[in-house]
Amino acid sequence: MSKVTLNVNGITLEGNTGDSLLEQLESAGLQPEYQCRNGVCGACRCRLGSGKVSQKDSLAYTAKMRFLPAKAVHLPTWSWSLIIH
Ligand code: FES
């Protein structure tokens, strides 16, 4: 599994390409907001500062440069940053 570097709210974390971004944020000790963990409610919505993520099918609305960490993984060839609330 590829290792990647995540920049979250200015904090650099180590991540991987397999787990959802929500799981990785929690593993890193952050406490991002969530409810359904399944792409339905939109509670985990974050802003992508740079880079690109792979957003899996979800029902909640996402605008440009927004995504749902519960249903997203990042791509190994991109470095990126995100802003969580
Ligand atoms: S926790 Fe429900 S869409 Fe993210």
Tell me the CATH number at 56. Answer: 3.10.20.30
Residue of 37, 59, 61 best suited for mutating to test ligand 1, as the one with most atoms within 8 Å of CB: 37
Work out how many domains the chain is built from and give that number: 1
Q: Give pTM, 2 decimals.
A: 0.82
Domain, as residue range, for 38: 3-83
Q: Report the C-alpha gap between 19 and 85 in whole angstroms.
A: 21
The answer to whether the CB of 53 falls within 8 A of the CB of 62 is no
For residue range 4-38, what is the model confidence (pLDDT) as tens digits? 777 787 888 877 778 898 998 898 888 889 999 99
Q: Report the C-alpha gap between 10 and 41 in whole angstroms.
A: 26
% residues pLDDT > 70 (the chain): 82
Nearest CA to ligand 1 atom 4: 44
CA of 33 to the centre of ligand 1 (A): 8
What was the pLDDT predicted at 24?
87
Full DSSP string of 3-25: EEEEEETTEEEEEESSS-HHHHH
Atom of ligand 1 nearest to the CA of 39: 3
